[in-house]
Structure 1
């Protein structure tokens, strides 16, 4: 059966374990054909916004209403739906995928999603430094130490730094302190933070972005120190560059979900 996102009949009823990954799994081979002419956005109950296909509201794979808390997110999703030509390809619709994940997964089990993100605090990217290249170590130090300093100042959580890849045990109290920072996040910001954490390998970078310590470009630079170094050292590789471009696209979408609406804007 093809997926019509405006139908109300239940189709996907399995429990969601990793909401973000599960949303990506729905990018199936039997992609449905585009069936609509007009795409628009409109208000929903409670100040939310929704995408309309020929005036009909879109539904998630679990048949819930696809509604987002900000108009800019709805407009980004609408642009994705409008860009589908002959088929509907979820892989080309990152805002819609992440919104589906929030509604069908994160909002249903926020504690599990927060706990999954918190796992990274025990082995965060920023805590493991290169050992054989002084210039790379200097770059890691310059970009990563200020984030760790901010984590300590903001949450009272000090994390140990190690050389190489041998695991270093972190203080459970420090991990718990960072975990408490996740509790106030609504499902939309939590989904953005979780996605950024898995994309970068660093909960600390995601928290620094959420807290305004880093902007998008600074967070991306911190997250891709090693990749940038390898490209400089060995020259550009077409596949590696393509992977980075795809990751940056997902990164920007997650960051958009993590941001709060500016004052006075819906």
Structure 2
């Protein structure tokens, strides 16, 4: 008799969980794809769908994070220990049934694009933003024909209808794995431009995270290093790198 599936914990539910399994293994799924079993019990996503991904390498990465979560049976873990599982769940249960909804969610970042809001002082920060951000907007114009307006200060900036239409077209051509990756990268970096650069191979995930955090890094050179900020920047970079890895593993054959 097949064992009942194990339900993935919801990310929005805070707190730690107790690891109840000893072993995580990959299994092929009838009809195609690969799942992950915990002590022989298949993983089910928060909505009840069985976890099944198209790539064996991605399934292996998901099994790996379950094998590490909590250290050993009885150990404590949180949903943050399962980033690949969370992205797979988003792709399968939320994006695949309605990719347009994910495109619409990403479109909310167009008017708030990080690279389009420039500091007015200090001079060192203004110069660093020009040096790091101008080339990315130039790439966007040259590669995708999207010419985004730039402002200084914090007053809201509304991009043109042509810019919105162009972004909607670009995002609408992405596959579900890429949309899932962008769903992590873009909020983390507050930049749809840098997210697109990563998923199209124009920037590495690590370099994009550096560009996105130029302001924080310059401020630390002025005011001194802050341990909490350093950790926040490390976590941001890790999220972007993991999302990029998810996309590539999902697309691997």
CA contact (8 A) 1:42 1:51 kept: yes
**In the TM superposition, what whole-angstrom CA distance separates every residue of 1:89-127 from its partner, at most 9, and x where no partner exists?**
222211112222222222233211111111111120000
Q: How many residues align?
A: 247
- Confirm or deny: 8 A CA contact 1:57 1:65 kept in the other structure: yes
Is 2:79 aligned against 1:94? no
Kept after mapping to 1: 8 A contact 2:4/2:41: no
Alignment of 1:7 onto 2:4:
yes
The reply on whether 1:225 has 2:222 as its aligned counterpart is: no
Query: 1:88/1:63 Cα in 2 relative to 1: closer, same or farther (>3 Å)?
Result: farther
CA contact (8 A) 2:5 2:42 kept: no
Question: Contact conserved, 1:38 with 1:54, CA < 8 A, in 2?
Answer: yes
Distance 2:22 2:174 in 1: 37
Q: CA deviation at 1:192?
A: 0.5
Any residues of structure 2 matched to 1:45-194 within 5 Å, and which?
45=30, 47-83=32-68, 84=70, 85=72, 86=74, 87-194=76-183
- Equivalents in 2 of 1:119, 1:236: separation in Å? 32
TM-score (structure 1 length as normaliser) = 0.84
Which residue in the other structure is 1:24 paired with?
A: 11
SS in 2 for 1:25: coil
Partners of 2:218 and 2:240 lie apart in 1 by: 19
Question: Of 11, 19, 26, which aligns to 1:41?
Answer: 26
Q: Determine if the alignment matches structure 1 residue 234 to structure 2 residue 223.
A: yes
Instruction: For 1:228 and 1:23, locate their aligned partners in 2 and report how far apart those are by CA, in whole Å.
Output: 33
Unaligned runs of at least 5 residues, structure 2: none
Q: Deviations over 1:127-148 (max 9, x none)?
A: 0111112221221112111111
**Do the aligned partners of residues 140 and 30 (structure 1) sit closer, same or farther apart at CA in structure 2, a change above 3 Å counting?**
closer
Unaligned runs of 5+ in 1: 1-5, 13-21
Change (3 A) 1:162 1:23: farther
1:203 counterpart = 2:231? no
Question: How well do the aligned residues superpose, as a CA RMSD in angstroms?
Answer: 2.4
Q: Distance in 2 between matches of 1:49 and 1:227?
A: 41
Displacement of 1:257 in angstroms is 2.7
- Give the conservation status (yes or no) of the 8 Å contact 2:33–2:52: yes
Shift of 1:41: 1.4
SS of 2:183 mapped into structure 1: helix
